[in-house]
């Protein structure tokens, strides 16, 4: 949500900023802008445009018409004030000498705005961000301090979550970056420095980055970057090397990132699983939780949002079966308001692809306040959630760009299963032969996924049969129910078809009244133990006129085909791993349906990749 990029160097800044912003488009935005300082004119030029980045790029001829080697850029996701040219960032102070780009929300902006208006400061936008630009200028003028000191004074007055990039025409050889509860990365180049919301925006230029921590301020110049802590004392930051390839964040010939990422799943799974299974045992490198600690855990509490929460739902079924301890799952957005029962003996498992989801981060902090240990399953290395956790299991899925998560979901599930198996071994709650069988099957998941992907044309055909339905129900029991939640979310978020997931047994308690002639029901019947019950539910909805698209394992295809209108299958695997395979046809189905409906698959309306506001 919102994207920041900044550059100070010797090359023309505008094309670099536009390129960086294009890499942040996936985060979701409704307008874009840049501010660049020109040494020739001694002025700062600001260009902003509502709509896609292309509108801005056309306006400034791909950057060619903007002179200057220092600048900041932004893609905005409207929170305060509608999407419009004037509300886009950068927001500037009244003199036009200070420009600010901002991710997050300034919670006390109304109070500050009225204070500044009382001092005669005029406002032009409805944004909370303009307050920051105006307040910094107010301190520069009123207190006769330099820009860095004015920023420090501003930070003491503003409340909320923010990542800020600041450019001041009176100190034109530098950018100032600030972070609190919203990610910001610093990039170190030869004779240049960068700031960005995430690595994809700057990896073309540098692989040396550091991750700002809350309360830190950085001053970026051509010569390097000086960081300060919240007391404005100079600090040294660790510089990390980004080791993934640039094409990992490019489409590489695919029409959509989502499709590319679906197809990358076997490889992502290999990266996540293979190094963690050695000689028939789960191997978690540098895992700090002792056997005593694990034995003493009273319960696991999984917190997450969206698809990551759906992984947690599968985890509840799987982990309780493996470790025979209670596993609770909560939506992160609910967790901190529900007075959760959490103490020192609770292990809170936080799941997040981005590692920046604000609700998830808030849940993590609440859990920590209550005394729990935090283990996170995260994809983005160095993200805020990873850095605030006691233990991190990285999913190693590689950069995920499409808003609809696919390979991150699969690898999160693999990581969670590995964690369950690791615990089960220490707790002695799983039969050793079964434990080994699951591990063997886990190693086979990538090639079984490849087999499913190679039959994608069948799924495309089913999508062509059903893409014009206006409402869809996903039904299933046990892990098939949890899987249905994800299948349903995938479909609705990218195709805009109304869709709901139901535990099959709940149908007759209300929802079945919605089933009528031609209603599409996606019936999930992969879970062997409850296959007969899944069949009964298929009969039940068929009898009320539903069209049934079923998903089951190969051995049950024939029986399912006797009743369902169409059947998708997955290879046989251990029960605990069925959702790992079952999700792939559902992702493909959602993708092809959205494709046939002409939807903006990688950037669905109203959605952002990384949700950094509450
Ligand atoms: C799924 O396709 C989503 N776009 C969304 O539900 C996502 O899973 C959720 O916002 C959580 O994100 P996170 O994993 O980065 O925390």
CB of 354 closer than 6 A to ligand 1? yes
Cα separation, 60 vs 66, in Å, equals: 7
Question: Phi and psi of 99, rounded to 5°?
Answer: -120, 140
Non-local (6+) Cβ contacts of 472 within 8 A are 466, 488, 491, 497, 498, 499, 500, 520, 521, 522
- Helix, strand, or coil here: 349? strand
Q: Where are the alpha helices (DSSP H) in 177-233?
A: none
The residue-averaged pLDDT of 194-204 equals: 93
pTM value > 0.85: no
Question: What's 597's DSSP letter?
Answer: T
Residue whose Cα lies nearest atom 2 of ligand 1: it is 404
Question: What is the pLDDT confidence band of residue 508, given thresholds at 50, 70 and 90?
Answer: confident
Model pLDDT, residue 501: 96
Per-residue confidence (pLDDT) for residue 507, from 0 to 100? 86
Structure tokens at 145: 């301090």
pLDDT by residue (tens digit) across 121-144? 999 999 999 999 999 999 999 999
Q: Using CA positions, which residue lies closest to atom 6 of ligand 1? A: 306
Share of the chain above pLDDT 70, in %: 99
Mutate to test the pocket of ligand 1, among 305, 350, 400 (most ligand atoms within 8 A of CB): 305
Helix (H) or strand (E) segment spanning residue 294: helix 291-296
- What is d(CA 160, CA 474) in angstroms, rounded to the nearest whole number? 39
3-state SS assignment for residue 518: coil
Instruction: List b or e across 438-472, with b for residues whose CB sees 16 or more CB atoms inside 10 angstroms.
Output: bbebbeebbebbeebbeebebbbebbeebbebeeb
Q: Which atom of ligand 1 is nearest to the CA of 380?
A: 15
Which atom in ligand 1 lies closest to the alpha carbon of residue 306?
A: 6
Q: Is the CB of 411 under 6 A from ligand 1?
A: no
Residue 549 in tokens? 């698209």
Rounded to an integer, the average pLDDT of 9-32 is 91
Task: Compute the distance from residue 265 Cα to the ligand 1 centre, in Å.
Answer: 17
Ramachandran region, residue 300 (left: φ > 0; alpha: ψ -120 to 50; beta: rest): beta
Q: Ligand 1 centroid vs 405 CA: distance in angstroms?
A: 7
Q: Which long-range contacts (CB under 8 A, 24 or more apart) does 154-160 make?
A: 155/180, 155/217, 157/108, 157/112, 158/106, 158/108, 158/109, 158/112, 158/131, 158/132, 159/106, 159/107, 159/108, 160/104, 160/105, 160/106, 160/107, 160/108, 160/109, 160/128
| Closest alpha carbon to 141 in 157, 119, 158 | 119
Taking 90 as the threshold, does the pLDDT of residue 94 lie above it? yes
pLDDT-derived band at 1 (thresholds 50, 70, 90) equals low
CA distances from 462 to 129, 213, 547, 564, 568 (A): 48, 48, 12, 13, 9
pLDDT tens track for 266-306: 999 999 999 999 999 999 988 999 999 999 999 999 999 99
Tell me the pLDDT tens digit for each residue of 580-604: 999 999 999 999 999 999 999 998 8
**Residue 254: CB partners within 8 Å, gap ≥ 6?**
260, 263
pLDDT tens across 34-62, in order? 999 999 999 999 999 999 999 999 999 99
- Ligand 1 binding pocket mutation candidate from 308, 404, 486 (most atoms within 8 A of CB): 308
User: How many C-beta neighbours within 10 Å does residue 61 have?
Assistant: 11
Ligand 1 centroid vs 253 CA: distance in angstroms?
A: 25
Give the distance (Å) from ligand 1 centre to CA of residue 358.
11
Task: Check: CB of residue 363 under 8 Å from CB of residue 332.
Answer: yes
Residue-wise pLDDT for 413-446, tens only, equals: 999 999 999 999 999 999 999 999 999 999 999 9
Is the torsion defined by CA of 400, 402, 405, 410 positive or negative?
negative
Answer whether 601 contacts ligand 1 (Cβ < 6 A): no
Instruction: Find the catalytic residue in 2, 140, 192, 305.
Output: 2
412 lines ligand 1 (CB under 6 A): no
Among residues 304, 282, 305, the alpha carbon closest in space to that of 294 is found at: 282
Are residues 416 and 409 in contact, defined by beta-carbon separation less than 8 angstroms? no
Active site residue 154: no
Q: Which has the minimum average pLDDT: 42-56, 72-86, 318-332, 569-583?
A: 72-86
How remote is the CA of residue 454 from the centroid of ligand 1, in Å? 27
Q: What average pLDDT does range 460-484 have in this prediction?
A: 95
Average pLDDT on 340-349 reads: 97
| Closest listed residue to residue 584, CA positions, set 450, 444, 478, 414 | 450
Distance 304 CA to ligand 1 centre (A): 9
Quick: pLDDT tens for 152-166.
Answer: 999 999 998 899 999
DSSP 380: S
Q: What is the β-pairing status of strands 326-331 and 43-50?
A: unpaired
Percent of the chain with pLDDT over 90: 86
CA proximity to 46, closest of 4, 74, 21 = 74
> Distance (Å, rounded) from C-alpha 209 to C-alpha 195?
9
CA distances from 586 to 132, 408, 441 (A): 45, 15, 21
pLDDT for the residue 32: 96
Tell me the pairing of strands 160-168 and 277-278. Answer: unpaired
Q: What's the rounded mean pLDDT across residues 167-173?
A: 96
490 is catalytic: no
* Sign, Cα dihedral of 250, 251, 252, 258: positive
pLDDT band at 381 (very low <50, low <70, confident <90, very high): confident
Read off the pLDDT band of 220 (50, 70, 90): very high
């Amino acid at each position: 949500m919102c994207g920041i990029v900044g550059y100070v160097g010797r090359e023309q800044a505008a094309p670099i900023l536009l390129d960086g912003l294009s890499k942040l488009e996936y985060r979701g935005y409704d307008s874009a802008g840049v501010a660049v300082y020109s040494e020739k004119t001694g002025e700062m030029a600001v260009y902003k445009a509502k709509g896609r980045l292309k509108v801005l790029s056309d306006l400034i001829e791909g950057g060619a018409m903007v002179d200057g080697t220092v600048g900041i850029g932004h893609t905005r996701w409207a929170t305060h004030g509608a999407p419009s040219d004037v509300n886009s960032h950068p927001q500037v102070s009244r003199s036009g000498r200070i420009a600010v780009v901002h991710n997050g929300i300034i919670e006390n902006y109304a109070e500050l705005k009225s204070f500044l208006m009382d001092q005669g400061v005029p406002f032009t936008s409805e944004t909370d961000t303009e307050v920051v630009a105006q307040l910094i200028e107010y301190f520069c003028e009123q207190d006769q301090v330099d820009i860095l000191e004015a920023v420090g004074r501003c930070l003491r007055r503003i409340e909320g979550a923010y990542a800020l990039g600041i450019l001041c025409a009176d100190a034109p050889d530098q950018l100032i970056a600030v972070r609190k509860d919203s990610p910001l990365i610093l990039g170190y180049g030869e004779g240049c420095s960068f700031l960005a919301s995430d690595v994809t925006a700057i990896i073309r230029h540098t692989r040396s980055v550091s991750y700002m921590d809350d309360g830190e301020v950085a001053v970026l110049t051509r010569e390097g970057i000086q960081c300060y802590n919240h007391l404005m004392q100079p600090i040294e930051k660790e510089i990390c090397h980004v080791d993934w390839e640039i094409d990992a964040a490019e489409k590489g010939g695919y029409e959509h990132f989502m499709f590319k990422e679906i197809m990358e799943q076997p490889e992502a799974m290999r990266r996540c699983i293979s190094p963690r299974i050695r000689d028939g045992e789960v191997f978690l490198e540098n895992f700090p939780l002792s056997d005593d600690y694990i034995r003493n855990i009273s319960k696991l509490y999984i917190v997450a949002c969206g698809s990551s929460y759906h992984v947690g739902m599968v985890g509840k079924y799987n982990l309780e079966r493996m470790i025979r301890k209670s596993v609770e799952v909560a939506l992160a957005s609910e967790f901190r308001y529900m007075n959760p029962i959490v103490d020192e003996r609770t292990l809170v498992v936080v799941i997040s692809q981005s590692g920046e989801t604000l609700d998830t981060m808030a849940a993590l902090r609440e859990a920590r306040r209550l005394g729990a240990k935090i283990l996170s399953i995260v994809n983005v290395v160095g993200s805020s959630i990873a850095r605030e956790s006691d233990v991190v299991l990285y999913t190693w899925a590689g950069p995920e760009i499409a808003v609809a998560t696919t390979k991150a979901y699969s690898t999160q599930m693999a990581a969670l299963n590995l964690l369950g198996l690791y615990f089960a071994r220490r707790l002695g709650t799983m039969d050793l032969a079964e434990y080994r069988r699951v591990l063997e099957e886990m190693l086979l998941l990538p090639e079984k996924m490849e087999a499913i992907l190679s039959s994608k044309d069948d799924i495309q055909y089913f999508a062509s049969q059903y893409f014009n339905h206006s409402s869809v129900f996903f039904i299933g029991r046990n892990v098939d129910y949890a899987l249905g939640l994800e299948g349903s979310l995938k479909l609705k978020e990218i195709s805009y078809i109304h869709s709901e997931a139901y535990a099959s047994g709940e149908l007759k308690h209300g929802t079945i009244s919605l089933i009528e002639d031609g209603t599409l029901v996606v019936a999930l019947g992969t879970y062997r133990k409850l296959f007969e019950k899944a069949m009964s539910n298929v009969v039940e909805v068929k009898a009320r006129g539903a069209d049934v698209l079923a998903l089951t394992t190969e051995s049950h295809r024939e029986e399912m085909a006797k009743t369902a209108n169409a059947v998708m299958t997955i290879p046989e695997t251990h029960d605990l791993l069925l959702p790992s395979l079952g999700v792939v046809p559902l992702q493909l189905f959602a993708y092809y349906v959205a494709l046939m409906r002409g939807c903006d698959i990688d950037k669905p309306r109203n959605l952002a990749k990384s949700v950094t506001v509450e």
